[in-house]
């Protein structure tokens, strides 16, 4: 049995949580910097010939984003059969970003919609959780806390970039995230095309000569009794997932030049919990003597995850978590109620670390690190698992055998409110594993270890109402 087959056998349970795609390791390219992310997006959009699919929270309104629009326009002009499909969030996509110009995500794409109306489909998903008086009176920015379209999938033809990053200036400049490019992965791209199209059919569409978005589904998400809307979307998604798992089952073998890719979809409001269930199983079945690295931009880990990582963790495994320092948090220095969010996440960290130290007597089995890089914010999430099993004759013990990359944040909001997607990737290919290792090292090098003593410092003090604030709003961040 070769090394990769042994690796596959150890993690064959991953195929329970999504369709399985075997992709050559040479088809992967890990991107390390925001500028790389922007450049690759520009490249794949400009060179697209048949299709461009964009799934994101929103699309920014700065010069970077205008350049992406220009690349898409160029591709549409060159290729008469090219189709553009965009799925953004309704609440965020219609929010005014530039008040001087009144620009929104919608207005950025409107010229393309008007000129290429037969080939451009622009959709906005609206959460069914925000309806009635809440929808009418909750102000912008805060209303997004009820749930958003959060998948970050960027496709051109059979090439795909998956990330946790939005399409906005800061994400191309000094906001650190993770980015993975896959080329010539037609089956995986078709899966995400179908996921996006399934949600698009239950979303609002911006059409030429129509000022207001037009709902495309049969049952409205927020007007009247929306129980039929929930059921329709759940049935559509469940049917799609089952079809793909039958069509792409667990592979029988995996060679050393391949990787197993399993897309994990999390849409808890529609009872699709593949990513949540995957994480719970992973945390409770870590290989002997393994080390798990977790990254999340907003530390708001759920009780389910915390139980597995602390209460049920074996003594032979180690866990390191990287999250944003208060200064690297995207909400730092913001206006309104959101300015209190960094303090809330800091309180979550303190409670987690104190629980871990009580359980493990501060022996380092669980470490918390905070990302700080001057003038940068931090938005990366995902995980890397290092398997130190000496019995499998693996010479790559210093490299991860499993990584997950995508949009989920490990928090209650990701699980219960937002639309999320990520990839679980298993490989023993040395070159690809080394790329994931380098990625993890480059992120964690900016992490400083924090302990319970850290939160006793005056600079880390939180308002007396801080714990109460986070307990009440924990499911919204």
CA distance 331 to 310: 28
Torsion of CA 299, 303, 309, 315, to 10 degrees: 140
| Residues in contact with 171: Cβ distance below 8 Å, sequence separation at least 6, in sequence order | 34, 37, 165, 177, 379
Tell me 337's DSSP state: G
Residue 126 among the catalytic residues = no
| Contact yes or no for 203/121 (Cβ under 8 A) | no
CA distance 189 to 422: 13
The dihedral built from the CA positions of residue 40, 46, 47 and 52, taken in this order, carries a sign that is: positive
The catalytic position among 152, 219, 248, 379 is 152
Residue 90 among the catalytic residues = no
Pairing relation of β-strands 318-324 and 291-296?
parallel
| Contact yes or no for 194/240 (Cβ under 8 A) | yes
The catalytic position among 121, 157, 275, 387 is 157
Tokens, residue 373: 């890089």
| H-helix or E-strand spanning residue 273 | strand 272-273
Q: Cα 123 from chain centroid? A: 19
| Contact yes or no for 11/238 (Cβ under 8 A) | no
Q: Looking at the DSSP assignment, which residues form a beta bridge with residue 155?
A: 53, 160
Match 């929103």 to its residue by tokens.
58
Backbone angles phi, psi at 395, to 5 degrees: -85, -5
3-state helix, strand, coil in the chain (%, to 5): 45, 25, 35
| Contact yes or no for 266/411 (Cβ under 8 A) | no
Residue 152 among the catalytic residues = yes
**CA separation, residue 217 to residues 199, 205, 226, 281, 383 (Å):** 10, 10, 12, 35, 36
Q: Looking at the DSSP assignment, which residues form a beta bridge with residue 202?
A: none
The catalytic position among 90, 106, 126, 150 is 150
Tokens, residue 169: 């200036």
Catalytic residues: 150, 152, 157
């Amino acid at each position: 049995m070769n090394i990769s087959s042994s690796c596959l056998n150890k993690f064959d349970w991953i195929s329970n949580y999504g369709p399985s795609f075997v992709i050559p390791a040479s088809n992967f390219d890990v991107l390390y910097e925001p500028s790389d992310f922007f450049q690759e997006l520009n490249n794949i959009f400009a060179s697209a010939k048949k299709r461009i699919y964009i799934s994101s929270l929103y699309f920014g309104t700065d010069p970077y984003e205008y350049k992406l629009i220009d690349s898409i326009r160029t591709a549409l002009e060159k290729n008469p059969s090219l189709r553009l499909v965009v799925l953004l969030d309704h609440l965020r996509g219609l929010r005014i970003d530039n008040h001087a110009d009144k620009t929104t995500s919608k207005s950025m794409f409107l010229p393309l919609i008007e000129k290429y109306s037969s080939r451009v489909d622009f959709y906005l998903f609206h959460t069914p959780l925000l309806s009635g008086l809440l929808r009418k009176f909750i102000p912008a920015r805060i209303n997004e806390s009820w749930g958003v379209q959060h998948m970050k999938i960027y496709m051109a033809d059979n090439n795909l970039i998956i990330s946790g990053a939005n399409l906005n200036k800061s994400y191309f400049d000094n906001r650190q995230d993770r980015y993975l490019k896959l080329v010539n992965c037609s089956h995986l791209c078709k899966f995400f095309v179908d996921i996006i199209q399934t949600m698009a059919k239950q979303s609002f569409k911006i059409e030429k000569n129509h000022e207001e978005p037009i709902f495309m589904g049969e049952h409205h998400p927020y007007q009247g009794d929306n129980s039929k809307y929930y059921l329709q979307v759940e049935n559509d998604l469940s049917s799609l997932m089952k079809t793909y798992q039958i069509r792409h089952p667990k592979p029988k073998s995996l060679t050393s030049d391949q990787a197993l890719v399993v897309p994990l979809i999390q849409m808890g409001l529609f009872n699709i919990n593949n990513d949540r269930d995957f994480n719970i199983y992973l945390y409770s079945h870590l290989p002997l003597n393994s080390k798990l690295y977790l990254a999340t931009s907003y530390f708001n880990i759920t009780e389910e995850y915390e139980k597995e990582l602390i209460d049920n963790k074996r003594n032979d495994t180690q866990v390191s978590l990287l999250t944003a320092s208060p200064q690297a948090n995207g909400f730092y220095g913001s206006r309104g109620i959101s300015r209190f969010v960094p303090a809330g996440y800091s309180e979550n960290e303190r409670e987690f670390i104190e629980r871990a130290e009580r359980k493990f007597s501060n022996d380092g089995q669980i470490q918390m690190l905070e990302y700080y890089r001057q003038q940068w914010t931090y938005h990366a999430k995902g995980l890397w698992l290092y398997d130190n099993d000496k019995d499998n004759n693996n010479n790559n013990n210093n490299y991860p055998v499993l990584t997950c990359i995508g949009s989920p944040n490990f928090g209650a909001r990701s699980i219960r409110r937002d639309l999320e997607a990520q990839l679980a990737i298993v490989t023993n290919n040395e070159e690809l594993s080394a790329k994931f290792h380098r990625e993890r090292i480059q992120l964690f090098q900016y992490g400083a270890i924090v302990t319970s003593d850290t939160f006793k410092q005056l600079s880390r003090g939180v308002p007396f109402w801080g714990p109460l604030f986070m307990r009440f709003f924990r499911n919204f961040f």
